[in-house]
Structure 1
Amino acid sequence: MKKKILLLSTGGTIASKPGPEGLAPSIGSDDILSMIGVLIQNYEVFSKDLLHLDSSNIQPEEWRIIAREVYHCAAQYDGIVITHGTDTMAYTTSILAFMLRNVPIPVVVTGSQLPLEHPLTDGFDNLRTAFAMAASQVPGVFLAFNRKVILGARAVKIRTTGFDAFESVNCDYAGTVDAGGLNINHQVIPPVQGRFVLEDTLCTDVFLIKLTPGLNPEIFDMLLTMNYRGIVIEAFGAGGLHFIHRDLVSKLQKIADHGISVVVCSQCLFERSDFSIYQTGQKVLEKGVIQGFDMTTEAAVTKLIWALGQSQNCEQVRKIFSQSYVGEVAL
């Protein structure tokens, strides 16, 4: 029996056509299905247009739309494929992984670097991989691109135009495609541990800051006046912040005193941060910051947005970050 797959279209390059102001999403899910034809002959495919947006315009409001649609449709299908623009795709896959707790079917997000109508598009190959993963009966949220399948909360876009646009950071691929077909690495895929629930209450008052030498600590005072509830800091190396000349560390105490959750991870793309190694890192730990360890920036930001939606109590947020829900961190 053919697997029932739902295709949800949100726009992006894969659905774009050239216009007077450049590429813009112009084709819908039915058009995509008619174009990929033979690629989906082994599946029973249904389609629905959710959005027609460049992914730069996909924000928390759109995340909720996508998550709610998946939640309401999951019981009717064996898998779901979502077409999406590449620029914010890793943020979307990360937040969907958190919002769709214990999703019982594969939810696979994909797109392309060239429009589907372009003669050299990578879209056909990416859709082929996405549909294969959606029919795999392996539950979870995934990103499929360039014959690779990545855990949703481990994906990072690393190239602006190359077809090998995404990498699985600090985690092996969830799947790869070669002459043997789709090879799934079950060891990296977190098991379903409970009933399927939609947790779509989010707190968007989260700010991401990348440290640079000489950064003025007063920026944290500004964030206080703007009523941010969470801050993600990309620190140096294994977790360094400067405290000579410009004392960032003491500012973090003020932030903590105001009940704002601070997550600190590394600017380095690979390997984990560890604040116990250096004096600067230990000073930060004393101020109550939350370690990001080997999380991607996309996962750290979206997990904080999601965690603060569950509770704005700093200790509860810390407890949430002490767990790995969807393989987002190796604790």
Structure 2
Amino acid sequence: DKDMDGIVLTHGTDTMGYTAAALSFSLRNLPIPVILVGSQRSSDRPSSDAYLNLKTAVLVAAKAPFAEVGVLMHSNISDDELIVHRGTKVRKMHTSRRDAFQSINSIPLAKIRNGNIEVYKPYKNRGGNLELKAEFENKVALIKCFPGMPSEIFDFLIEKKYRGIVLEGTGLGHAPEYVFSKIKRAIDNGIVIVMTSQCLFGRVNMNVYSTGRILLSMGVIPGEDMLPETALVKLMWVLAQTNDFNEIKELMLSNIAGEISERSEYRGKLL
């Protein structure tokens, strides 16, 4: 509908980041904003953030100059400021606070105070012809690396014919050395493996230590500064677009929807 100024989607907060990432990759060349919004407190509670969040999401969808997928929630525990986070750079960082959501390795798309929208560049401007690419490969797993992790998990995924694995590695992108042979076996069996960091802030750099360089030589793809869950969704999307490993690697290393920052931003809390 060319008369539509924007779209607002209400969503539960627990998995809103996953949906925002999926929409960011699926909706190519968006002409208008798509704003996901939820609440941390139910509408029957005096401290509910539901009404203000929804009201502000409608304002942003109608008036903001950008055409991207965003997540709108409270910026702090009071009602004086709300934030729009980019759909591929947002994570729920608290179980119950109204300001639970935070932009990771990136500044947010916008801040709203007293009905005024302050936007932060860069962003995609409104306009364009929407291209829908909504296919996803389901056989992709997210594995958290930890001391003593069972190496048999890779055998299971090979047996079940999984096509992709995102590793949530330690530090700069590491896994226990005793699982390296299993990682190699998985790659030899056609499973694409992407390395991210459970540190969240900062980016993967697998060239610093020899163990990282060994993983790179096996064919593990560095996930740059992508959130592990964003890398998971992206790999699911990429594997539905192509079966060619070189194309998969190129797409995983390309910034498609703002998921990879040229320079990882760390600002503690929010602006």
For normalisation by structure 1, the TM-score amounts to: 0.74
Corresponding position: 1:220 with 2:154: yes
Q: Contact 2:65–2:125 (CA<8 Å) still a contact in 1?
A: no
Deviations 1:231-254 (CA, angstroms, capped at 9, x unpaired):
0000110112221xxx22222211
Q: Contact 2:223–2:253 (CA<8 Å) still a contact in 1?
A: no
Mapped partners of 2:221, 2:56: distance in 1: 36
Aligned to 1:148: 83
CA deviation after TM superposition for structure 1 residue 260, in Å: 0.9
Mapped partners of 2:48, 2:24: distance in 1: 28
Corresponding position: 1:313 with 2:248: no
CA deviation after TM superposition for structure 1 residue 179, in Å: 4.6
Structure 2: stretches of 5+ with no match in the other structure: 75-81, 263-271
Corresponding position: 1:183 with 2:118: yes
Q: Which amino acid aligns with 1:299?
A: T
Q: Contact 1:190–1:327 (CA<8 Å) still a contact in 2?
A: no
Identify which of structures 1 and 2 has the higher relative contact order when contacts are C-alpha pairs closer than 8 Å and 6+ apart. 2
Aligned to 1:161: 96
Match of 1:266 among 188, 194, 197: 197
Q: Contact 1:151–1:168 (CA<8 Å) still a contact in 2?
A: yes
CA deviation after TM superposition for structure 1 residue 195, in Å: 3.6
Q: Which amino acid aligns with 2:176?
A: H
Specify which structure has the higher proportion of strand: 1
Aligned to 2:37: 110
Aligned to 2:229: 298
SS of aligned partner of 2:184: helix
CA deviation after TM superposition for structure 1 residue 193, in Å: 9.7
Q: Which amino acid aligns with 1:159?
A: H
Aligned to 1:78: 5
CA deviation after TM superposition for structure 1 residue 180, in Å: 7.3
Specify which structure has the higher proportion of helix: 1
Mapped partners of 1:214, 1:242: distance in 2: 8
For normalisation by structure 2, the TM-score amounts to: 0.89
Aligned length: 254
CA deviation after TM superposition for structure 1 residue 313, in Å: 2.5
Mapped partners of 2:237, 2:127: distance in 1: 19
Q: Contact 2:30–2:128 (CA<8 Å) still a contact in 1?
A: no
Mapped partners of 1:214, 1:288: distance in 2: 23
Structure 1: stretches of 5+ with no match in the other structure: 1-72
Structure 1 residue runs of 4 or more that deviate by more than 6 Å after TM superposition: none
Mapped partners of 1:251, 1:315: distance in 2: 22
Distance 1:191 1:285, change over 3 A: farther
CA RMSD in angstroms comes to 1.6
Mapped partners of 1:313, 1:255: distance in 2: 16
Match of 2:145 among 211, 216, 241: 211
Aligned to 2:212: 281
CA deviation after TM superposition for structure 1 residue 258, in Å: 1.1
Q: Contact 1:240–1:278 (CA<8 Å) still a contact in 2?
A: no
SS of aligned partner of 1:306: helix
Aligned to 2:267: none
Q: Percent identity?
A: 38
Which of the pair has more CA radius of gyration? 1
CA deviation after TM superposition for structure 1 residue 120, in Å: 2.1
Q: Which amino acid aligns with 2:166?
A: V
CA deviation after TM superposition for structure 1 residue 178, in Å: 2.4
Aligned to 1:6: none
Q: Contact 1:236–1:266 (CA<8 Å) still a contact in 2?
A: yes
